[in-house]
Amino acid sequence: MTGFAGTTPSAALLARIKQGKVGGVILFGANISSDAGVRSLAARLQAAARAGGNPPLLIAVDQEGGPVRRLPDGPPADAPAQLRSAAQSRGEAAAAGTFLARLGINVDLAPVLDTIDSPSNFLGTRSFGIDVQRTTALGTAFVRGLQSRGVAATAKHFPGLGTAAANTDTNHVWITTSRRALDARLVPFAAAVHAGVDLVMVSNAGYRAYDPSGLPAVLSRRIVTDLLRGRLGFRGVTISDALSAPGPSAHADASVRAVEAGVDVLLYTSESAADAAYTRLLTAARGGGLPLSALRAANSRIAELKRRVAR
pLDDT per position as a tens digit, 249-295 = 999 899 999 999 999 999 999 999 999 999 999 999 999 999 999 99
Range of the domain at 218: 76-268+291-309
User: For residues 28 and 69, what is the distance between their CA atoms, to the nearest angstrom?
Assistant: 9
Number of domains in the chain: 1
User: Is the separation of the CB atoms in 33 and 25 below 8 Å?
Assistant: no
User: For residues 115 and 92, what is the distance between their CA atoms, to the nearest angstrom?
Assistant: 20
Phi/psi class of residue 152: alpha, beta or left (left: φ > 0; alpha: ψ in -120 to 50)?
beta
Report the C-alpha dihedral over residues 189, 192, 226, 63, rounded to 10 degrees: -70
Q: What is the pLDDT of residue 188?
A: 98
With respect to residue 57, please indicate whether it lies within any of the assigned structural domains.
Answer: no
With respect to residue 262, please indicate whether it lies within any of the assigned structural domains.
Answer: yes
pTM beyond 0.75, yes or no: yes
Q: What is the pLDDT of residue 265?
A: 98
Per residue in 227-238, pLDDT tens?
999 999 999 999
Q: What is the pLDDT of residue 165?
A: 92
Burial (CB < 10 A; 0-12, 13-18, 19+), residue 181, is middle
Q: What is the pLDDT of residue 45?
A: 98
Q: What is the pLDDT of residue 252?
A: 87
pLDDT band at 310 (very low <50, low <70, confident <90, very high): confident
User: For residues 175 and 100, what is the distance between their CA atoms, to the nearest angstrom?
Assistant: 34
Tell me whether residue 241 is one of the annotated catalytic residues.
yes
Q: Averaged over 156-179, what is the pLDDT?
A: 96
Most confident segment among 65-69, 193-197, 290-294: 193-197
CA 90 from centroid of its chain's CA atoms? 20
Phi/psi class of residue 172: alpha, beta or left (left: φ > 0; alpha: ψ in -120 to 50)?
beta
Burial (CB < 10 A; 0-12, 13-18, 19+), residue 179, is exposed
With respect to residue 283, please indicate whether it lies within any of the assigned structural domains.
Answer: no
Mean pLDDT estimate for the chain? 96
Q: What is the pLDDT of residue 108?
A: 98
Non-local CB neighbours of 20 within 8 Å, separated by 6+ positions: 52, 54
Q: Kindly list the strands in the beta sheet with 24-27, ordered across the sheet, starting from the edge strand earlier in the chain.
A: 24-27, 58-61, 107-108
User: For residues 28 and 45, what is the distance between their CA atoms, to the nearest angstrom?
Assistant: 15
Per residue in 117-166, pLDDT tens?
999 999 999 999 999 999 999 999 999 999 999 999 999 999 999 999 99
Q: What is the pLDDT of residue 240?
A: 98
With respect to residue 14, please indicate whether it lies within any of the assigned structural domains.
Answer: no
With respect to residue 257, please indicate whether it lies within any of the assigned structural domains.
Answer: yes
pLDDT at 311 over 90: no
pLDDT band at 63 (very low <50, low <70, confident <90, very high): very high
With respect to residue 54, please indicate whether it lies within any of the assigned structural domains.
Answer: no
Angle 107-109-113 (CA atoms, 0-180°, nearest 5)?
Answer: 135
Q: What is the pLDDT of residue 236?
A: 98
Q: What end-to-end distance do the CA atoms of the chain give, in Å?
A: 16
Q: What is the pLDDT of residue 229?
A: 98
Q: Averaged over 16-21, what is the pLDDT?
A: 97
With respect to residue 53, please indicate whether it lies within any of the assigned structural domains.
Answer: no
Strand partners, 180: none
Q: Which of 74, 69, 167, 59 is nearest to 111 (CA)?
A: 69
pLDDT at 18 over 90: yes
CATH number at residue 112: 3.20.20.300
**Catalytic option among 169, 172, 226, 253:** 172
Q: Averaged over 75-94, what is the pLDDT?
A: 97
Tell me whether residue 275 is one of the annotated catalytic residues.
no
Would you tell me the crossing angle of helices 271-287 and 292-309 to the nearest 10 degrees? 130
User: For residues 111 and 80, what is the distance between their CA atoms, to the nearest angstrom?
Assistant: 8
User: Is the separation of the CB atoms in 86 and 108 below 8 Å?
Assistant: no
With respect to residue 18, please indicate whether it lies within any of the assigned structural domains.
Answer: no
